[in-house]
Amino acid sequence: MTWLPSLLLTTFVIGTDDFIIAGILPEIAADFEVSEAAAGQLVTVFSLVYAAAAPVMAVATARLPRKRLIVGGLGLFAVINLATVFAPSYAALMTLRVAAALVAATISPAAFAIAGTLAPAGRTGRAIGTVAAGLTVSLVIGVPLGSWIGGMFGWHATFVLVAALTTIAVAVTAFTLPQLPETPVVGVRERLVLLRRPAVLTCVIGTIIGATSGLMPYIFIAPLIDDLSGADRGLVPVAIGLYGLAGAMGTVIGGRLNDQWGTDRAVIALLVVVLASTIAIAVTGLVFGGLAPFWLLAALIIVWGAAGWAYNPPMNARALQLAGPAGTEAIALNTSGLYIGIALAGAIGGGALNLAGGIAVLAAASAIGLINLVFMTLAVRRYPSVPLAQTAATRTDSP
């Protein structure tokens, strides 16, 4: 699968561009003379636009050849990031972030769908997991590197880096990504009907609930570590780095479990691990009276992070399998669900933190995780997925 690294690189540059803003907020706020809270809206707007645009753009670009969509989209993404360097005002910067979100929402779901389509029989989950690893690798490598460059040379240099990385991605995808064979394209109305299937919608709901539960502790990881262990704040980046590394490994593990155990079994098993590890972190904090050893929390964070991101490949594989000819659009909806879940995690987790600190965040995440486990257990029984190899002959996904 010589084409697979190009799709991983695609999600890597998108993830770097998405997450990098958090590391250069002070510099952007100072340069445009706005508050850091206002600068933080660049992240919020990107996420909201991505969530809203992903399914719409998937339908709108369904008839475009997949290679042309990926290569052309990456080229436009590079231009937008380079233009960001010269943004004359905060309003212009916000407009460019909206444009970047629209492009990212178009090419990222397509990359996952291409991986599922091109993967050999029995390796669908591994291919999707490798593509998903690009997002977590961006947390470990792309974001820290971009933040360091921003601190050394100014925030403009960060977007030069993203533009350069994206240009490399353009070259790699143009050279290695094959042309997918043209197949009959299902009309827009038919695709929308497929997306309204209860089976597909359960995937999206499961992703929303799963992201709300699984990412809530990560969003508030700094106060959580402080409440549970009293560890020095300097150890928070260590915890974040471990989480990112675990997530990168988790996406690969999730893909392998998908192929070896079957999609539905992998989904349920991983939800059990996510829930158990979340509860274990909370219990550890309570048992040690808020003075838990950092190494113990770090070990639990690794398990929790790996399982949480391992959930992504089988859920995308399930959406791809259940949607039939509307596979790309289903993954786009699923991706929208991820961003909605992130927003809910921030809102619910923030309320829990204000109510009773880090333990309350973990309690809320555990309760929501239990709800998702029950929901998905019922969903996979009612709507079992079918391996792509069994439906390849009838599959009519867009080229």
Contact 85, 159 (CB under 8 A): yes
Q: Which CATH number fits domain 4-176: 2.40.50.140, 1.20.59.10, 3.10.150.10, 1.20.1250.20?
A: 1.20.1250.20
Q: What is the pLDDT of residue 208?
A: 92
Give the 3-state secondary structure of residue 25.
Answer: helix
Q: Do the domains at 4-176 and 189-384 have one common CATH topology?
A: yes
Q: What is the pLDDT of residue 396?
A: 39
Q: Where are the domains of the chain?
A: 4-176, 189-384
Model confidence at 249: pLDDT above 70: yes
Question: What is the tens place of the pLDDT at every residue in 341-399?
Answer: 887 888 888 888 888 888 999 999 999 999 999 999 999 999 998 765 444 444 434 33
Question: What is the tens place of the pLDDT at every residue in 170-192?
Answer: 999 999 998 876 544 555 555 55
189-384 is classed in which CATH architecture?
Answer: Up-down Bundle (1.20)
Question: What is the tens place of the pLDDT at every residue in 195-223?
Answer: 678 888 898 899 999 999 988 888 788 78
Q: How far apart, in whole angstroms, are the C-alpha atoms of residue 103 and residue 96? A: 11
Helices 124-137 and 90-118, interaxial angle, to 10°?
Answer: 160
Question: What is the tens place of the pLDDT at every residue in 4-60?
Answer: 999 999 999 998 888 777 668 778 888 998 887 678 778 778 878 888 888 888 878
How far CA 85 is from CA of 4, 155, 357, in Å, comes to 30, 8, 39
Helices 236-261 and 221-229, interaxial angle, to 10°?
Answer: 110
